[in-house]
Structure 1
């Protein structure tokens, strides 16, 4: 971290994890201090900067993720797409007719089903 900023105090640091795409990673934080035996850490976030949720891969070509005000499904052309509330109520069902499907919705948590695969999606 000391190589990422030359400022003292609270500093925003962004680190790309693109080199680890499609791999399982573990986050480890440690500190070596000469004077104090602790480190202060605040507001750690691992985020998909292209969206606002965790991207879920249905198969090698289909992806589902939440973004600001919408659910995005890519690569599901020709498949049936269903959106549910977390308690299982059906909101909508439609046949995907394009490669990139952007569905406008209010912020919240949804269950999105494409074909036989279902995943939880967060819309901010």
Structure 2
């Protein structure tokens, strides 16, 4: 119901914060939706902490709204698929260099850097 009200339900923010540890899968979305603009960063910090160290069954639910609260476009399935394809291509190319010719095994740091580069999603 709070989700339908949006930021008009901002008065419920303290109660939602208090309920987060007890309802780690249900509360994060409501927190993000009812949060007024001036409280977005504080709410993003709360959810980031819950995503890192909260109850295991609620960590993903807590992590999902953080990007939107911080004004970044949420990653889509297509973004992740493109990033995985790019990563696979770059690592395959670099591993091909590493498995043949002189200097076999000398490009380890290059492969790690390519993997880090490919893993960055658009908007990061």
TM-score by length of 2: 0.24
Higher helix share: 2
Higher strand share: 1
